[in-house]
Structure 1
Amino acid sequence: MEVSPRAAMVIARLFEQATGQTLSQDRFWRIGTTLTPFCKARGIDSFDQLAMTLERGANPELSLDTIDALLNNETSFYRDPGVFGLIGDELLPRIAANRQREKRIRIWSAACSTGQEAYSLAMMFAEQGERWAGWKIEIIGSDISRSAVAQARGGLYTQFEVQRGLPIRQLLAWFDHVVDSGWRAKPQIAAMVSFTRHNLLGPPPAGGRFDLILCRNALLYFSPERRHQMLEGLALAIAPDGALLLGAGETARDCSSRFASDPDMPMVYRPAAYGSLTNAA
């Protein structure tokens, strides 16, 4: 199916209005690649027909499904292992030292896709059970994709998905095999995580501030103005002594004055007032 310039513009505009993400002309190829099977499965004969239906707003479910199909849900268990080493060896010990009284740690896995990052964090805590005995660990995963959040809530992954990053020892320890379906997260780790549908341009999830926020490989899909808006929201969600972890190719410095890079840890950003807190301590 061929994508006319007008259909591409209509679909890209709808996508940006719903998600804030910019589908620039050099990425219009995603429309044809992703939505051709999508349209055929729904009996839609052309992209012009799809664009006309979306523009009229006559089928809200179709609009949501179209947006869902265009979102990039790339993720895997323990994606970028060095990052998880940084979390386990450096960030969590520092957070724990500051939370000895409350014995509560809140983590936000933002733009979590189908939830592998959140479950990877839960496994880190579960494998150090004695260390975290008596602590309340809350891991909130969020994503704008309805289908991704639904899968994350179910905690069910295909054989292909678990083979991406999850060692066999951890697979057998923390997942139950479901015949003809894949592998489901065991209650020990599922109890630590919850998932919600959330737009990063909106207010942060409720429940208090977060000690650690992971927002990796999301900023790159937004314009500079939208990045600033996102970072403002993350600044409202993070604890004064919390840590924000971005992707390797991302930075908060050019888009917001609310965060400063941690001089000791790559990809880690602290609230701008964090330096005065540590100096006072």
Structure 2
Amino acid sequence: MQVSLASERLLAELLKARTGQELPDNRRWRIGSALSALCREYGIKSVDQLVATFSPSRQTTLARQMVEALLNNETYFFRDRAFFETLDQRILPALAQARAETRTLTIWSVGCSTGQEPLTLAMLLASQEARWAGWTISILGTDVSGSVIEVARKGCYTPFQVQRGLAMGEMIAWFEETAQGWRVRERLRRMIRFEEHNLLDPLPPLPGGQMQTFDIVLCRNVLLYFDAETRERAFARIASVLAPDGWLMLGAGETTHGLTDRLAPERGAPGFFRHARGLRRTRAA
């Protein structure tokens, strides 16, 4: 489906304003296919006509639908397993020791899409009953797209979705097959809450007004679509809610280098970052 340059520019501006994400030239080829379903839904023949029907300055349903259609919601269970192996073998044991008195663990999955990443974390923790018995574990999954958050809350997936990243034994252990699809078992669902949220905005406080802080933040493949200035804002937001001895996990190839002096890479743990001041003290000791 052909899209004019004027429509491409307007959609790029809309996406940036609503989510902070860039729509560079090398991603604009997918605009036509991404919005084709919306064109059919509204009985409109072209993306140009679709764009002409909304006002960029108004919070309309159509504007929200267009933004959500343009987002990349690619995800699957245990994506890049090596990262989760590091989490399992190094980060979680360290946190289990550091939080032994409070016996609480808080995790934030940013850009969680349809929920596979938070559920992967829940599977990992639930499989370690001896280590986490008696602990209060809270996993927050957020995404700027309300439609994918609704899917995540339902916790029901197609056979294709559960087979991506999971072995048959894992599927049977953590899901039950229903007429609607493969539904996550209640044990995992209780560990997670899903909320629509833009990483660039402050997180709402907990009941009672207490600010949320996290022992682990996963922000993988979200920053790829931000420009440098927006990445700096994102890192500032993450650093402000990450516990002083907490851990940040980024996606493969993502880095904090040149974008923040508050978060630094952890030696021997590719993809993991910590508060720079705390790392300096640890290494000096």
1:15-52: CA deviation from partner (whole Å, max 9, x where unpaired)? 11101001012221121121123212221222222112
Secondary structure of the equivalent of 1:214?
Answer: strand
What residue number does 1:3 align with? 3
Relative to structure 1, the CA distance from residue 252 to residue 56 in structure 2 (aligned partners, 3 Å threshold; closer, same or farther) is closer
Q: Distance in 1 between matches of 2:278 and 2:216?
A: 14
Q: Distance in 1 between matches of 2:268 and 2:45?
A: 55
Relative to structure 1, the CA distance from residue 212 to residue 59 in structure 2 (aligned partners, 3 Å threshold; closer, same or farther) is closer
Q: Distance in 2 between matches of 1:81 and 1:256?
A: 27
Instruction: Compute the displacement of 1:177 (Å).
Output: 1.0
Instruction: Compute the displacement of 1:74 (Å).
Output: 0.2
What residue number does 2:21 align with? 21
- Higher mean C-alpha displacement, 58-67 vs 14-23: 58-67
Return the letter of the residue paired with 2:108.
W
Are the counterparts in 2 of residues 235 and 271 from structure 1 also a CA contact under 8 Å?
A: yes
What residue number does 2:201 align with? 202
Aligned 1:100-119 pairs, distance under 5 A: 100-119=100-119
**Residue 226 of structure 2: which of 222, 227, 230 is its match?**
222
1:244 aligns with 2:248: yes
Instruction: Compute the displacement of 1:11 (Å).
Output: 1.2
Q: Distance in 2 between matches of 1:71 and 1:205?
A: 23
Aligned 1:1-281 pairs, distance under 5 A: 1-55=1-55, 60-179=60-179, 181-204=180-203, 206-207=205-206, 208-278=212-282
Relative to structure 1, the CA distance from residue 249 to residue 56 in structure 2 (aligned partners, 3 Å threshold; closer, same or farther) is closer
- Higher mean C-alpha displacement, 58-67 vs 144-153: 58-67
Return the letter of the residue paired with 1:182.
G
Relative to structure 1, the CA distance from residue 277 to residue 184 in structure 2 (aligned partners, 3 Å threshold; closer, same or farther) is farther
Relative to structure 1, the CA distance from residue 246 to residue 148 in structure 2 (aligned partners, 3 Å threshold; closer, same or farther) is same
- Higher mean C-alpha displacement, 34-43 vs 80-89: 34-43
Instruction: Compute the displacement of 1:205 (Å).
Output: 5.1
- Count of aligned residue pairs for this structure pair: 280
Instruction: Compute the displacement of 1:58 (Å).
Output: 6.4
Tell me, which stretches of 5 or more residues in structure 1 are unaligned? none
Q: Distance in 2 between matches of 1:4 and 1:31?
A: 10
Secondary structure of the equivalent of 1:263?
Answer: coil
Return the letter of the residue paired with 1:206.
P
Are the counterparts in 1 of residues 77 and 164 from structure 2 also a CA contact under 8 Å?
A: yes
Are the counterparts in 1 of residues 96 and 131 from structure 2 also a CA contact under 8 Å?
A: no
Q: Distance in 1 between matches of 2:223 and 2:119?
A: 22
If the length of structure 1 is used for normalisation, what is the TM-score?
Answer: 0.95
- Higher mean C-alpha displacement, 203-212 vs 167-176: 203-212
Secondary structure of the equivalent of 1:273?
Answer: helix
- Higher mean C-alpha displacement, 56-65 vs 89-98: 56-65
Q: Distance in 1 between matches of 2:205 and 2:112?
A: 17
What's the Cα RMSD here? Answer: 1.6
Relative to structure 1, the CA distance from residue 128 to residue 56 in structure 2 (aligned partners, 3 Å threshold; closer, same or farther) is closer
Tell me, which stretches of 5 or more residues in structure 2 are unaligned? 207-211
Identical pairs, percent: 43
Are the counterparts in 1 of residues 14 and 56 from structure 2 also a CA contact under 8 Å?
A: no
If the length of structure 2 is used for normalisation, what is the TM-score?
Answer: 0.94
Instruction: Compute the displacement of 1:204 (Å).
Output: 3.2
Instruction: Compute the displacement of 1:280 (Å).
Output: 8.2
Secondary structure of the equivalent of 2:9?
Answer: helix
Q: Distance in 2 between matches of 1:112 and 1:2?
A: 31
Secondary structure of the equivalent of 1:131?
Answer: helix
1:48-79: CA deviation from partner (whole Å, max 9, x where unpaired)? 22112223656711111111111100000011
Secondary structure of the equivalent of 2:54?
Answer: helix
Are the counterparts in 2 of residues 53 and 59 from structure 1 also a CA contact under 8 Å?
A: no
